[in-house]
Amino acid sequence: MTQSISKMLLVLSAISAAIPVSAFAQGAKTGTSFVDNFDGIDQKTWYISDGWDNGDHQNCTWSKRQVAVHDGVLELTFEQRKAGKRDYACGEIQTKKRFGYGTYEARIKTAEGSGLNSAFFTYIGPTDKKPHDEIDFEVLGKDSAKVQVNQYISAKGGNEKQIDVAGGANAGFNDYAFIWEQGRLRYYLNGTLVQEVTDPTKIPVNEQKIFFSLWGTDTLTDWMGKFDYQGPAKMQIDRVAYTAPGEKCLFPESITCTVD
């Protein structure tokens, strides 16, 4: 296991330990198909992380002040501001319900800046009395020309793949999607299949929550780059959707309209 992968395992295994139990009060409920164009923040759907951090690797504290909607776009921000134990504040939003097999889609413009991570992922873990399962899209601000896909199964990762994002993930909105099925997991970027996993030992099986987060680090330099604060940064999410198996075309641009 490389040093960077080892550090990522430590980072992501810390997520559930850091989140207050109250954040998971509705976690046992299973979500159904939905599209959110972010005309606002639906309090029945979303929980905004606020008042904690995920451990020593994270140099910011989650703050509800870093989560807002402007002109139909969800914005997560990172800025230098004393919050909790940290000198920086960052934003994260997560669903209150869990979702299983199906199609997950988001239209995103990522932040830029070495040491920052713009993430769209699903996750479940020990706080929910489940194994750590996860499916990831992550853009590291040190190189916004690529997106990393990865998945964790019972806290075991090491399935990273770097994918080129034409024009840069931070330069405009791009469509990220994955289709999660029993025995198959497919990742898409702007409608193009970029990774397919068919090894069942590398595909999660537990229902998970949907997350968007923007955070930074001072310590994970080999993975995320040396932290170099150049001012406030912003991750924007124009749309997110989950389509349950057997349903199609919840919105015209959905990948379910063209992919079986």
pLDDT in tens, 192-247: 999 999 999 999 999 999 999 999 999 999 999 999 999 999 999 999 999 999 99
Whether 138 is catalytic: yes
Task: Indicate the fold that domain 3-257 takes in CATH.
Answer: Jelly Rolls (2.60.120)
Catalytic residue among 105, 134, 181, 253: 134
Q: Does the pLDDT at position 23 exceed 80?
A: no
Task: Find out whether 240 and 103 touch, Cβ atoms under 8 Å.
Answer: no
CB atoms < 10 A from the CB of 32, how many? 12
Q: Active site residue: 112, 138, 196, 253, which one?
A: 138
Continuous H helices in the chain: 3-18, 221-224
**Per residue in 93-151, pLDDT tens?**
999 999 999 999 999 999 999 999 999 999 999 988 999 999 999 999 999 999 999 99
Report d(CA 195, CA 260) in Å as an integer. Answer: 16
pLDDT for residue 29: 84
Read off the pLDDT of residues 35-62 as tens digits, 9 standing for 90 and up.
999 999 999 999 999 999 999 999 999 9
